[in-house]
Amino acid sequence: MGIKETDQKYIAGTYNRFPVEITHGKGSLVYDENGKEYIDMGSGIGVTAFGIADDIWQQAVIDQIGKVQHMSNLYYTEPCALLAEKLCEKSGMKKVFFCNSGAEANECAIKAARKYSAEKKGGDCFTIVTLINSFHGRTLTTLAATGQEQFHKLFTPLTPGFAYVAAGDVDGLKQIIADTKVAGIMIECVQGEGGVVPLTEEFVKAVDAIAKENDIPLIVDEVQTGNGRTGKFYSYMHFGIQPDIVSTAKGLAGGLPIGATLLGEKVENIFAAGDNGSTFGGNPVSCAAALSVVSRIDDALLDEVAEKSVYIFSELENAKGVESVTGKGLMIGIKTVRPAADVLKDCMAEGVLCLTAKDKIRLLPALNIPMDVLKKAVAVIKEQAGKEA
Ligand SMILES: *Cc1c(COP(=O)(O)O)cnc(C)c1O
């Protein structure tokens, strides 16, 4: 049996894989089992922030693996403390809880909001408001937080205590707060899985103001948008707001599992010993990798992300076969006239790996993708989008 057959026989059927085995890569180039080269415009769904097997990232990981690869949270370790310090410096948040994934970071965010509100407003104040078309993860609680019906069916009953409002519906949000005791409001500033749909500045600011007026913790899910992806360190920074709770994961450790929940002033001391925990949370190798990644996300890199974004928009907006381009920074959705799945398949044949989000092509390239490589990939996408259906 080849790898594909073995995988199909033994791996649970949760993923539809493309008929390609990726064996290795370097930077924004990856290679399949036949040695075919691809430009990686997905970076493992926004994870390999500095590309595949990046030298600086690799050295940080190797150095830490040679010292201590894991230690329980009963003891102090350096990478975890230094990473928390760096994240707080970059974000204005006060404390960090480390875990292993985006869903787990959101679980912690929800626990923090619920504990704050229960202590302040009583145990019946537990409802978390999220947005219709949001995505917050696959655990039963973060599925409940995910405002897309299609993910819910077959897995009910989900965790109770969630209410949904459409992005942009300020009155709807006010109505829920008037009718229900609300413990938290959770948003993505750019809805990633929902089709790379940015929220308007007006709505984000209104949500922030409503949360403040009502003493409701505002949670921003930066799992996909975080760590430089949108051209700011966190996407909420485009709007001049300071959330009470931020969750992040995907690109944070550049390709090793990590999740982080950042607690702002309002909730910085909400957790006491025993309130949350994670065996692998704060793992020294993941944290050393993340420390290296975060240290490299400086103003120069963020400017580069913004410049590359402008380039992609300018090439693809109004291009033949393209209906719209949305997103921020290097998180981009392209609505094509041809079905996105067809465009993606043809791009793959031409050596460019893209993602989809709903009915769009989605691009999440490495933040440091070289300009000449990006240009090649965009030319292929443009050509394939422009083909007759
Ligand atoms: C990917 C994603 C998650 C879930 O992250 P996992 O690491 O897969 O658990 C949560 N929220 C958003 C916005 C995401 O994009």
Query: If pLDDT is split at 50, 70 and 90, which confidence band does 332 have?
Result: very high
C-alpha to C-alpha distances, 286 to 260, 262, 310, nearest whole angstrom: 11, 17, 32
User: How far is ligand 1, taken at its centre, from the CA of residue 104, in Å?
Assistant: 9
Ligand 1 pocket (Cβ < 6 Å) reads 101-103, 106, 135-137, 188, 192-193, 221, 223-224, 249-250
CA dihedral 128, 129, 131, 133 (to 10 degrees): 50
Whether the pLDDT of residue 389 is over 80: the answer is: no
Instruction: Determine what percent of the chain is predicted with pLDDT higher than 90.
Output: 99
User: How far is ligand 1, taken at its centre, from the CA of residue 20, in Å?
Assistant: 24
Say which CATH superfamily domain 3-53+299-385 falls into: Aspartate Aminotransferase, domain 1 (3.90.1150.10)
Cis status of the peptide bond prior to 198, with omega within 30 of 0: no
Q: So what's the pLDDT on residue 7?
A: 97
206, two tokens = 């209104």
Domain boundaries, the chain: 3-53+299-385, 57-294
Query: If pLDDT is split at 50, 70 and 90, which confidence band does 1 have?
Result: confident
Query: If pLDDT is split at 50, 70 and 90, which confidence band does 193 have?
Result: very high
Give 134's contacts (C-beta < 8 A, 6+ positions apart): 145, 146, 147, 148, 186, 187, 188, 191, 194, 221
User: How far is ligand 1, taken at its centre, from the CA of residue 386, in Å?
Assistant: 31
pLDDT for 274-326, tens place per residue?
999 999 999 999 999 999 999 999 999 999 999 999 999 999 999 999 999 99
Kindly tell me the sign of the dihedral angle through the C-alpha atoms of 322, 326, 328, 332: negative
| Residue position matching structure tokens 């993505």 | 188
57-294 has the same fold as 3-53+299-385: no
Query: If pLDDT is split at 50, 70 and 90, which confidence band does 388 have?
Result: confident
pLDDT for 225-238, tens place per residue?
999 999 999 999 99
Write the DSSP symbol of residue 236.
G
Please choose, from the candidates 162, 169, 161, the residue with its C-alpha nearest in 3D space to the C-alpha of residue 146: 162
CA 88 distance to own-chain centroid? 18
379, two tokens = 């030319």
| pTM across the whole model | 0.98
Domain 57-294 in this protein, CATH class: alpha beta
pLDDT for 43-83, tens place per residue?
999 999 999 999 999 999 999 999 999 999 999 999 999 99
Q: Which amino acid, one-letter code, is at 124?
A: D
